């Protein structure tokens, strides 16, 4: 019975860690959205001009590239740790 409790506790810890990572990622997304907005949008209006749209697209693309690089690196670290 103690083994089952230990297994349940390990699973719970894994789930909590996953939820913490999701929350951290969400916070990071909001932070980058704020940065891109502040960098690219001078005055909000009903439409985006082409300069603002290009700036936002570039900013988001950089964010996606950075996120993919970090995620890939994190996966490599986790894989090395489990060996």
| Domains in the chain: ranges and CATH | 1-82 (1.10.287.810)
Write down the pTM of the prediction: 0.58
Please check the confidence at residue 48 and state whether its pLDDT lies above 60. Answer: yes
pLDDT band, very low/low/confident/very high, at 58 (cuts 50, 70, 90)? very high
Residue 16, pLDDT above cutoff 70: yes
Distance CA 58, CA 66 (A): 12
Residue 82 has pLDDT above 80, yes or no: no
With contact defined as beta carbons under 8 Å apart, do 9 and 25 qualify? Answer: no
Of residues 27 and 25, which shows the higher confidence score? 27
pLDDT at 83: 67
Reported as a single tens digit per residue, the pLDDT across 65-75 is 988 898 888 88
Angle between helix 50-81 and helix 2-40 axes, rounded to 10 deg? 160
Average of pLDDT values for 43-69? Answer: 90
């Amino acid at each position: 019975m103690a083994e089952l409790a230990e297994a349940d506790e390990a699973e719970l810890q894994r789930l909590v860690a996953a939820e913490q990572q999701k929350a951290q990622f969400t916070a990071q997304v909001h932070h980058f959205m704020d940065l891109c907005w502040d960098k690219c949008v001078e005055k909000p209006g009903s439409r985006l001009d082409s300069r603002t749209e290009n700036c936002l697209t570039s900013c988001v693309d950089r964010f996606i590239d950075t996120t993919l690089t970090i995620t890939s690196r994190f996966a490599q670290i986790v894989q090395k740790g489990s060996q």
